[in-house]
Amino acid sequence: MNCIYLLWLLQVKRYIRSRARIFASLGQPLLILFILGFGVEPIFKKAGQGSYIQFLSPGVVGMALLSTSVLSGLRLVWDRQFGVLKATFVAPEPRILVMFGRTLGGATIALVQGLITMVACLVAGFRPAGIDRLPIALIFMLLIALMFTAMGTAIASNLKDLQSFQLIMNFLVAPISLLSGALYPLTDLPLLLKWITRLDPLSYGVDGLRGALSGTYRFGPWLDLAVLSICTLILLGIGGYLFSRIEL
Amino acid sequence: MIAVSHLTKTFGSLVAVQDVSFRVGKGEIFAFLGPNGAGKTTTVKMLTTLLRPTSGRVQIDGLDTIRHAREVRRKVGIVFQDTSLDGELTAYETMDFHGSLYRVPRNFRAARIKCLLNLFELWERRDNQVNQFSGGMQRRLEIARCLLHGPEIIFLDEPTLGLDPQTRHRLWTQVIELNQQERVTVFLTTHYLDEVERVADRIAVIDHGKIIAQGSPAELEEQTASDTLEEAFLELTGSSIREERSSFLPRMRKMAKITGR
């Protein structure tokens, strides 16, 4: 536990010291929230779908969680490239604990970024159905953060340079975000797209968040929780395995 | 203290270290020399549990590095060829993180950190972030860090690379003091042969993954009928320029992937 706590604390300390990183990773979700949110709001209302800000906000929080989580993998590639990882690997602690500590740290940072985004959503006019729903929303946020931090770790464990990681992330993050239902409702989609969206684990995260905050689920809370928990466990397993096989 | 027998590491069909055997006694300063790409760093990585040998055996203080990796790690301190410091932490935090990871008791840890940072003249800069340090200061901090948990053996992989003569001189003075006062065994690699002559009790020379000579500096000079250690080294390894080590390992790994081994 000591090792997990230390590695968690290290990630959190680095995050607090990097103000540029805090603001930079908030940029994209806030742009979507304020530009797309207010831009589409009138059309959405005209179409009889209610408030777009109300619909979009849980999706934007999910996107903020996704991008911050996978970016923790970038930190791993950085630490590997610049030697920091070696110092941890020669310590008398099992690598799996090092991986868990780093993943928890990355997930905590993503959770904080998600909460900051949530505050921005409140400023933009989003109103949750009730305060009592926030703990359930927090559970979904934590699961999304853990799942995608583990995915970032798994991918980063196989890469040695920052450029490759950036390319893979761009290739992955955009489709995962766009297919998750964060920006548009997943109803009445063409059949193929409908099935693809169901294969996207973030769809269940966004649905869980949206359901927890507004009370309307598409897949249902238990299915959302089950898919997210299983995916998180699988990705933690894969991430742990690949991390333990890193050769420096 | 260190017993290496028939150590081999291959990456696919490429042999990085081949049938290497040697012993290092307690309290000895042992220099492991060789041209670029000879297999020095690969050997150090196997000795410090970072890399698994293909065959052969390494024992550190009687403990097998594969079966007792965690116990071995407690006994050794390592200064890597390239820096391994986190630039965002302060010097004190770097030491404290390392001490916590090695489970150095809190009360003892604080006193030990102060002592080591004073020894390496970094105490006044303890609250500065490492990325504000010069190369020499970072090197000194790495050595201080590697001593924090009281290792019985320290591995110094080209510790003076890129340092000015003053810093190099001070660093070796401190290493010799540690070796004499605390009987710390030192395993070092370097390309500066004057440093080796100054500090090393014994030397092993590796080339193309094989040990080609072992002995004291005087014995190597005698074996090769040379007047200096540099002449002896060139006599043993030839004078042709070798490829850079940094490109050697990745190339070997790539080759191993291609050949599927």
B172-180, long-range: CB within 8 Å, 24+ apart, which pairs? Answer: B172/B198, B172/B199, B174/B119, B174/B120, B174/B143, B175/B29, B175/B143, B175/B199, B176/B29, B178/B147, B178/B154, B179/B27, B179/B29
Q: Which candidate, A53, A29, A59, places its Cα nearest to that of A39?
A: A53
Give the B-side interface with A, CB within 8 Å. Answer: 45, 48-51, 70-71, 73-74, 76, 78, 80, 82-86, 88-89, 93, 97-98, 100-103, 145, 250, 253
Nearest CA in chain A to B70: A92
Distances, alpha carbon B214 to alpha carbons A42, A105, B140, B221, in Å: 82, 48, 29, 11
Q: Are B79 and B157 in contact (CB under 8 A)?
A: yes
Alpha carbons B1 and B118: distance in angstroms, whole number: 29
Q: What is the DSSP string of A25-38?
A: HHHHHHHIIIIIHH
pLDDT tens for chain B, 261 residues: list them: 899 999 999 988 888 999 999 999 999 999 999 988 888 989 999 999 999 999 999 999 999 999 999 999 999 999 988 888 998 999 999 999 999 999 999 889 999 999 999 988 899 999 999 999 988 889 889 989 998 998 999 999 988 877 788 878 888 888 898 889 888 999 999 888 888 988 999 999 999 899 999 999 889 888 888 888 888 888 888 767 665 544 455 555 555 554 444
Question: B103, A10: Cβ pair inside 8 Å?
Answer: no
Q: Which domain holds residue A40?
A: 2-244
> Which of A90, A93, A247 has the CB atom closest to B48's CB atom?
A90
How many domains does one find in chain A? 1
Q: Which residue has the tokens 């090695």?
A: B102
User: Span B2-259: which CATH code?
Assistant: 3.40.50.300
Retrieve residue A227's tokens.
């898919």
pLDDT tens digits, residue range A166-218?
888 888 888 999 999 999 988 888 999 999 999 999 999 999 999 999 888 98
Cβ neighbours of A128 (radius 10 Å): 19
Pick from A21, A90, A102, A161 the residue to mutate for testing the B interface (most B CBs within 10 Å). A90
Partner B contacted by A88 (CB < 8 A): yes
Q: Which candidate, B90, B234, B71, places its Cα nearest to that of A10?
A: B90
pLDDT tens digits, residue range B152-190?
999 999 888 777 888 788 888 888 988 898 889 999 998
ipTM above 0.90, yes or no: no
pTM (2 d.p.):
0.85
**Domain ranges, ordered by start, for chain B:** 2-259
Task: Kindly report the nearest CA distance between residue A3 and chain B, in angstroms.
Answer: 6
Partner B contacted by A93 (CB < 8 A): yes
Partner B contacted by A244 (CB < 8 A): no
Q: Which candidate, B50, B126, B127, places its Cα nearest to that of B81?
A: B50
Q: Which amino acid is at B2?
A: I
Instruction: Give CA torsion, residues B245, B98, B60, B159, to 10 deg.
Output: 40
